[in-house]
Amino acid sequence: MLLKRVYEGTIDYLQVLDENGTVDATLFPKDLDDSKIVEMYKWMSYARSLDAKTLSLQRQGRAVTYAPLIGEEATQIGSAMAMRPADLFVPNFRQHGVFLVRGFPLELFFIYWRGFEEGGKMPEGFDGFEVIVPVATQIPHAAGIAFAQKYNKKDAAVLGYVGDGGTSEGDFYEGLNFAGVMKLPLVTIIENNQWAISVPRKNQTAAETLAQKGFSAGVNSVQVDGNDVIAVYKAVSEAIANAKNGPTLIECVTYRMSMHTTADDPTKYRTSDEVEFWAKKDPILRVRRYLNAKNLWNDDLEKKMEEEHLKAIDDAVAKAEEFKPDPKVIFEHIYSYMPPTLKEEYDEAVKNEFWQGNL
Amino acid sequence: MVGAINNALDLAMQADKNVILLGEDIGKDGGVFRVTDGLQAKFGEGRVMDTPLAESGIIGASIGMALAGLRPVPEIQFAGFMFLSFGQLINHAARYRSRSRSTFKVPMVVRTPVSGGVRTLEHHSDSPEAYYSHIGGLIVVEPSTPYDAKGLMLKALKMEDPVMFLEPTKLYRLFKQEIPDEAYEVEIGKANLVKEGEDLSIITYGTMVNVVQSVVEKKKLNADILDLRTINPLDEEAILKSVKKTGKVIIVHEASLSFGPGAEIAARIAEKAIFELDAPIMRVASDSFPYPFPGYENYYIPNELKISRAIDKLLSQ
């Protein structure tokens, strides 16, 4: 009889900045300094303001169903700031903070969330791909995009975002496995916000961590405090630096402070105690504590920053609301050309002014 | 309609312990549209299960449960997400009976919300009935009223076949209807002649039934309105009977035009009743491309005016 252990794996958990705003100096990334931490703080605050505004527009009927990001700012901002200019990202439907940091025009953001495809018309050279709604289906795309970078000998990594629920989908594993076997420059970021609508993380998988799912694909995996922007930045930066050697899976442990989308009511399926527990781990609050302790921030700066953000957001909303849809366009982007059969339907619709008006 | 389906599931679960429900958020949350609200509290977590987020797994496991003698009712949260389980439906649910020469059967009822008109995000408004009808082996049902929803569900739960039970999202709460408290069945494969008339036949189902009814009322038309209720297998007998009577036919559905259910219906009418028609067969449907973002949906889904003008054209011939 032969009995030998053929595999053993461990998952490390990384935290650099704790809830009290205290930093572990031994883990502090060498390429970060305090000005960069201030920048992280500003982006996170900006993302939260953007989120609050979009939610309020939705409540007024000025935006469609929306997936709030509140609570997940550190995961999004830390990872987006770790990207180098050539790197690319593939989101799901909640990475508004990543879009923000990567310079996506807010006007387009609001056009998108008003329910028009024109909000998905990317500016030339933008380093992100489209919002993807069917859960985890974007991860194989991310693997393919990573393949193209490697094929073209580009020193570029691809960040693919997925939620905790998404790790249960076949596409998550298939994309990860593809990247593992081909050693692709893919950094898969699990934004583990603990809830897939009403289903808690513990009912999603019997695995102790989501990071360990990387083992099954032979992909380096790590778990980080997803409410610690420095830890996220560090883990993602290292994964990007190593991307030429192969993929990494990073589980960011965070919390969805609000609803899944504006279409559900979290009080129906989770306790306020749990929400309060996580509120104490707030990703922005701890950076504020760090900055306060170092005298790098104060209420005046906060007020000035907020005013700037709100003005930029309001200006973008105003521009987005000026957008007037032209129904003809819904026919014009189906194929690279207009087939005669579709042209017939198009002509009929235009002739009838899209049947607007009452019978 | 939400209440009617909930009631049907409740009655079926009381009557048959093999009926079990599974899906994403159907338990504690009662489903994103509350169709299964209260059923987990009543029947327990062992019979009303919140599954991991995995559509192919939900359908594949349901097939396994059905093969092993249970009667699963999987819910796929939105029709657009059901394509992740397309392989299981087409490769297995549709074929298991045939490949085993009926040794095995897959008695399950796959529930999913379909069609649009309620300003939802991408993939939340698809009308996928043609895909599932095309393969053969899957029964495809789509109610347009609470009464039909309950009766068709109770009938589906007695069938020894996989049934795709498509629930129009827009009709979940659009209107109320008094329905019997007790169990009753609506036959599968039989269309419902909603209104009788002599001048033309309007064949429709799902979200378009009440839109067509409104057009007929406003225009005071003397029309047959045939609500298919079952897309596959088609009630060809009812279709031909109506068409032969009126000699004019228009087919109305929300699913997109090209290769849609209307094409199949039109072909059957052409094959079997063309000489009894006095005008070309007409179709009114959404245009031939994927459902657009919600900001454009009112330019996409057929509305009363579009149906009305098509009827005018038909009647002028």
Q: Are residues A161 and A182 in the same domain?
A: yes
How many CB atoms sit inside 10 A of residue A57's CB? Answer: 19
Decide: A107 and A316 in contact? Cβ < 8 Å.
yes
Helices A106-113 and A299-322 cross at an angle (nearest 10°) of 60
Token match 């692709």: residue? Answer: A184
Q: Are residues A335 and A287 in the same domain?
A: no
Q: From B107, B141, B171, give the residue that closes a domain.
A: B171
Name the H helices within B95-227. Answer: 96-99, 129-135, 146-156, 208-218
φ and ψ of B66, to 5 deg: -65, -40
How many CB atoms sit inside 10 A of residue A307's CB? Answer: 10
For the cut 90, the answer to whether the pLDDT of residue A2 exceeds it is no
Residue B188 tokens read as 């599968």
Q: Does a structural domain hold residue B187?
A: no
From first CA to last CA, the distance across chain A in angstroms is 83
Determine the residue of chain B that is closest to A120 in CA distance.
B293
Strands (DSSP E) contained in B153-191 are 163-168
Q: Does a structural domain hold residue A23?
A: no
Q: Are residues A178 and A309 in the same domain?
A: yes
B53 → closest Cβ in A165, A269, A354: A165
Q: Are residues A177 and A256 in the same domain?
A: yes
- Number of structural domains, chain A? 2
φ and ψ of A128, to 5 deg: -120, 160
Domain that holds residue A278: 31-325
Q: Are residues B73 and B141 in the same domain?
A: yes
Nearest-CA distance from A359 to chain B in Å?
5
Residue B257 tokens read as 């035009």
Q: Does a structural domain hold residue B176?
A: no
For the cut 90, the answer to whether the pLDDT of residue A7 exceeds it is yes
Q: Are residues A186 and A97 in the same domain?
A: yes
Residue A298 tokens read as 């104060």
Nearest-CA distance from B134 to chain A in Å?
22
Q: Are residues A130 and A173 in the same domain?
A: yes
Look at A356 and B305 and tell me if their CB atoms are within 8 Å.
yes
Cα diameter, chain A:
83
Q: Are residues A258 and A356 in the same domain?
A: no
- Paired with B252 in beta bridges are B204, B284
Query: Chain-wide mean pLDDT for chain B?
Result: 98
Q: Does a structural domain hold residue B182?
A: no
State whether residue B18 sits within 8 Å of chain A by CB. no
Q: Are residues B148 and B28 in the same domain?
A: yes
Please list, in sequence order, all residues whose beta carbon lies within 8 angstroms of the beta carbon of residue A219, skipping any fewer than 6 positions away: A176, A179, A180, A188, A246, A247, A248, A249
Q: CA neighbours within 13 Å on the CB side: how many for A112? A: 21
- How far apart (Å, rounded) are the C-alpha atoms in residues B209 and B202? 9
pLDDT of A144: 97
Residue A54's pLDDT band (cuts 50, 70, 90): very high
B295 → closest Cβ in A135, A325, A354: A325
State whether residue B215 sits within 8 Å of chain A by CB. yes
Residue B9: its H or E element = helix B2-15
Stretch 219-278 of chain B: residues touching chain A, C-beta under 8 Å: 219, 257-258
Q: Does a structural domain hold residue A1?
A: no
Decide: A281 and A72 in contact? Cβ < 8 Å.
no
CATH classification of the domain holding A263: 3.40.50.970
**Active-site annotation holds for A269:** yes
Residue A186's pLDDT band (cuts 50, 70, 90): very high
Kindly give the confidence (pLDDT) of every residue in chain B, 317 residues in length, as a single tens digit, with 9 standing for 90 and above: 999 999 999 999 999 999 999 999 999 999 999 999 999 999 999 999 999 999 999 999 999 999 999 999 999 999 999 999 999 999 999 999 999 999 999 999 999 999 999 999 999 999 999 999 999 999 999 999 999 999 999 999 999 999 999 999 999 999 999 999 999 999 999 999 999 999 999 999 999 999 999 999 999 999 999 999 999 999 999 999 999 999 999 999 999 999 999 999 999 999 999 999 999 999 999 999 999 999 999 999 999 999 999 999 999 98
State whether residue B98 sits within 8 Å of chain A by CB. no
pLDDT of A213: 98
Handedness of CA A227, A138, B255, B90 (dihedral sign): negative
- How far apart (Å, rounded) are the C-alpha atoms in residues A56 and A48? 12
- Paired with B192 in beta bridges are B227
Q: Are residues B234 and B115 in the same domain?
A: no
For the cut 90, the answer to whether the pLDDT of residue A1 exceeds it is no
CATH classification of the domain holding B25: 3.40.50.970
Residue A322 tokens read as 């000026």
CATH classification of the domain holding B298: 3.40.50.920
Q: Are residues A40 and A86 in the same domain?
A: yes
pLDDT of B301: 97
Q: From B122, B140, B171, give the residue that closes a domain.
A: B171
Q: Cα dist. A6→A1, A2, A3, A208 in Å? A: 15, 11, 9, 20
Q: Are residues A232 and A87 in the same domain?
A: yes
Q: From B137, B171, B205, give the residue that closes a domain.
A: B171
B81 → closest Cβ in A134, A327, A331: A134
- Paired with B249 in beta bridges are B201
SS percent in chain B: helix, strand, coil, step 5 = 40, 20, 40
Q: What DSSP state is assigned to residue B281?
A: -
Helix (H, G, I), strand (E, B) or coil at A311: helix
Domain that holds residue B248: 192-315
From first CA to last CA, the distance across chain B in angstroms is 38
pLDDT tens digit string along B218-231? 999 999 999 999 99
Amino acid at A123: P
pLDDT of A104: 98
How many CB atoms sit inside 10 A of residue B190's CB? Answer: 14
Decide: A245 and A220 in contact? Cβ < 8 Å.
no
Q: Are residues A164 and A288 in the same domain?
A: yes
Decide: B85 and B76 in contact? Cβ < 8 Å.
yes
Please give the ipTM for the structure prediction.
Answer: 0.94
Pairing of strands B139-141, B230-232: antiparallel
Q: Are residues A292 and A349 in the same domain?
A: no
Q: Quick one: what percent of chain B has pLDDT higher than 70?
A: 100
Residue B57 tokens read as 């797994």
A65 → closest Cβ in B53, B120, B295: B120
pLDDT tens digit string along A192-244? 999 999 999 999 999 999 999 999 999 999 999 999 999 999 999 999 999 99
- How far apart (Å, rounded) are the C-alpha atoms in residues B159 and A136? 34
pLDDT tens digit string along A295-321? 999 999 999 999 999 999 999 999 999
Stretch 111-140 of chain A: residues touching chain B, C-beta under 8 Å: 114-117, 133-137
Q: Are residues B38 and B153 in the same domain?
A: yes
Stretch 294-353 of chain A: residues touching chain B, C-beta under 8 Å: 325, 327, 330-331, 334, 341-342, 345-346, 349, 352
Token match 């002509």: residue? Answer: A347
- Number of structural domains, chain B? 2
Query: Cis before residue B233, ω within 30 degrees of 0?
Result: yes
Q: Does a structural domain hold residue A7?
A: no
Q: Are residues B271 and B307 in the same domain?
A: yes
Q: Does a structural domain hold residue B180?
A: no
Q: Cα dist. B18→A14, A98, B48, B73 in Å? A: 47, 47, 12, 10
Q: Are residues A313 and A340 in the same domain?
A: no
For the cut 90, the answer to whether the pLDDT of residue A189 exceeds it is yes
Q: Are residues B98 and B10 in the same domain?
A: yes
Q: Does a structural domain hold residue B198?
A: yes
Instruction: Name chain B contacts of A171, Cβ cutoff 8 Å.
Output: 84
The string of DSSP letters for B42-95 reads HH-TTTEEEPPS-HHHHHHHHHHHHHTT-EEEEE-SSGGGGGGGHHHIIIIITT
pLDDT tens digit string along A327-353? 999 999 999 999 999 999 999 999 999
State whether residue A292 sits within 8 Å of chain B by CB. no
| Helices (H) then strands (E): counts for chain A | 12, 8
Q: Does a structural domain hold residue B183?
A: no
Q: By C-alpha distance, which of B68, B46, B3, B53 is closest to B23?
A: B53
Amino acid at B154: L
Q: Does a structural domain hold residue B186?
A: no
Q: Cα dist. A287→A29, A37, A280, B312 in Å? A: 15, 8, 13, 67
Query: Chain-wide mean pLDDT for chain A?
Result: 97
Q: Are residues B122 and B259 in the same domain?
A: no
Q: Which of A167, A332, A345 to probe the B interface (max B CBs under 10 A)?
A: A345
Q: Does a structural domain hold residue A287?
A: yes
Q: Does a structural domain hold residue B179?
A: no
**Active-site annotation holds for A260:** yes
Q: Does a structural domain hold residue A47?
A: yes
Residue B89 tokens read as 């439906």
Q: Are residues B204 and B163 in the same domain?
A: no
Nearest-CA distance from B52 to chain A in Å?
5
Q: Cα dist. B27→A69, A266, B18, B33 in Å? A: 25, 14, 17, 12
